[in-house]
Chains A and B, each alone.
Chain A
Amino acid sequence: MLTAHRLGKRYGEKRVLRGVDLELPDGGFLVVTGPNGSGKTTLLRICAGLAAPTSGTVERRATRAELGYLGHEPLVYRELTALENLDLYGRLYRVPERRERIGMLLERFGLWEARHDRVAAYSRGMTQRLALCRVLLHDPALLVLDEPYTALDEAGAELLDDQLTELRGERTFLVSTHDPARVAPLASGRLALGT
């Protein structure tokens, strides 16, 4: 599903990634770990197609329609409601039975009651739950998740655990985390980045 060979990335003089190789087969679950500044986010952005490597190559079999990306930002509009945000992405991703799918996800992540509230009124944890709904909306084949447990309370984290467990094997995952123990039972491999 995803192969990277000798990936390198520089921002001006600063070298963020150096010679990273990874191979993620269909159905795999690769956990990326490393201290702050080790290039986890940069690696995931390159793998998602949001950034270009300075050196090396990355080959991704999933198209944009088959990719679900969760970054540090939730990628939702604060002045729109949860429903409006998901409806926008649902239209752009041409999700079949969009309304039902949106309703199901909002229900699952505990946001149904707040669906008509603007995201600006959401807590950070609720916004992260909405971001997860956005990522899962089009049922992507490849999920690139950067610190997916950020800001989630225990109930939210358990919801995400359940979701990942349900999709494990059927979907391919590239997940960065500071808490590898949490996803260890699901992981098929681990990539540790240094500083």
Chain B
Amino acid sequence: MTYVRDVGALARKDLLLELRAKDTLPAMLLFVAAVFVVFHFALPGNPSRLETTGLLWVAILFTALLGLGRAFVPEREQRTMDGLVLAPCDRSAIWLAKSLATLAFLGAAEVVALPLYALFFHRIGGSTVLAVVLADIGICAVGTFLGAMAVVTRARDLLLPLLFLPLAMPIVVGAVGASIGHSPGRYLGFLALYDLLFGVVCWGSFEYVVAE
């Protein structure tokens, strides 16, 4: 129960910081809206569902990357990671809270992005919405973990995409499959399995990322 309270306190802090600084969510919203507008004019005629589904997932992935790149910026700029690491709570709570906050920002961006996609391109089915939810969980779990690793390096802006994009490939495969495949259940199951496996790995190994 104390673990849940720690996660709650840390996630609340991240949401408060965003509410005050407005560094992450506006950037994500503008980016994803700009991508759809640009592609609306860049893809001539009536692009197929197959093509635009790929576009949807590329847009989601890179929007998430924008948020993930900002996730540990307050801790880096104000060196507060030392304070969190010294606190007697389980260090995985830092990862979980940050993942939940990033998930909230990504979800908020998608609340705007998905209707925009439907407006410009094609309607979105239930399986795509489910795939978005499951993909978001995996993206935020893995991305936050890698963000914590990258933030202490000089080449953090380059390192995060380099580490994250290969690990996000299974998410793209599962998400696109769930969106356009004939049996979305298999792909949704695959996404859920990815979330479970990588969630457990990140949760269990975060301690080693933040400890020297």
Residues of chain B within 8 A of A73, CB atoms compared: 78-80, 82
Nearest CB on A from B71, distance (A): 14
Taking a contact as CB atoms closer than 8 A, the residue among B78, B88, B212 that contacts A52 in the complex is B212
- Judge whether B38 is part of the interface by a CB distance below 8 angstroms: no
- Judge whether B2 is part of the interface by a CB distance below 8 angstroms: yes
User: A73 to B76, alpha carbons, bound, how many Å?
Assistant: 11
User: A80 to B19, alpha carbons, bound, how many Å?
Assistant: 10
Interface size class of B (residues with CB under 8 A): 20 to 34
List residues of B (1-44) whose CB comes within 8 Å of A's CBs.
2, 5-6, 9-10, 13, 16-17, 20-21
Residue with the highest number of chain B CB atoms closer than 10 Å, among A63, A65, A89, A91: A91
B21-A91 in contact (CB<8A): no
B13-A49 in contact (CB<8A): no
Which B-chain residue is minimally distant from A134 (CB atoms)?
A: B83
User: A37 to B5, alpha carbons, bound, how many Å?
Assistant: 41
User: A51 to B86, alpha carbons, bound, how many Å?
Assistant: 11
Taking a contact as CB atoms closer than 8 A, the residue among A51, A65, A76, A84 that contacts B80 in the complex is A76
B82-A78 in contact (CB<8A): no
Residues of chain B within 8 A of A65, CB atoms compared: 88
A92-B88 in contact (CB<8A): yes
Residues of chain A within 8 A of B5, CB atoms compared: 91
Nearest CB on A from B61, distance (A): 28
- Chain A 125-165: CB-based contact to B (< 8 A → 1; otherwise 0): 00000000010000000000000000000000000000000
- Chain A 18-59: CB-based contact to B (< 8 A → 1; otherwise 0): 000000000000000000000000000000111110000000
A118-B20 in contact (CB<8A): yes
A75-B79 in contact (CB<8A): yes
Residues of chain A within 8 A of B16, CB atoms compared: 79-80, 84
Nearest CB on B from A123, distance (A): 16
B82-A50 in contact (CB<8A): yes
- Judge whether A69 is part of the interface by a CB distance below 8 angstroms: yes
Residues of chain A within 8 A of B78, CB atoms compared: 73, 75-78
- Judge whether A167 is part of the interface by a CB distance below 8 angstroms: no
Nearest CB on A from B18, distance (A): 9
B212-A89 in contact (CB<8A): no
A89-B83 in contact (CB<8A): yes
- Judge whether B209 is part of the interface by a CB distance below 8 angstroms: no
Known contacts A75-B79, A77-B74: A92-B6 contact under CB 8 Å:
yes
When A and B form their complex, what is the total count of cross-chain residue pairs whose Cβ atoms lie within 8 Å? 68
Instruction: Label chain A's interface by main secondary structure.
Output: loop
Known contacts A79-B17, A91-B6: A50-B86 contact under CB 8 Å:
yes
B212-A92 in contact (CB<8A): no
- Chain A 58-92: CB-based contact to B (< 8 A → 1; otherwise 0): 00000111010101010111111000100011011
- Judge whether B85 is part of the interface by a CB distance below 8 angstroms: yes
Known contacts A80-B13, A91-B5: A75-B88 contact under CB 8 Å:
no
Nearest CB on A from B124, distance (A): 35
Nearest CB on B from A13, distance (A): 18
The contact sample of 27 A-B pairs, CB cut-off 8 A, is: A48-B86, A50-B82, A64-B88, A65-B88, A69-B82, A69-B86, A71-B82, A73-B80, A73-B82, A75-B78, A75-B83, A76-B78, A76-B80, A76-B83, A77-B78, A79-B16, A79-B21, A79-B74, A80-B13, A80-B17, A80-B20, A84-B13, A84-B16, A91-B9, A94-B2, A94-B88, A118-B20
Q: Which B residues are closer than 8 A to A by beta carbons?
A: 2, 5-6, 9-10, 13, 16-17, 20-21, 74, 78-80, 82-89, 212
Q: Other than the known A48-B86, A77-B78, what 9 A-B pairs have Cβ atoms closer than 8 Å?
A: A69-B86, A73-B78, A76-B78, A76-B83, A80-B13, A88-B13, A92-B9, A94-B88, A118-B20
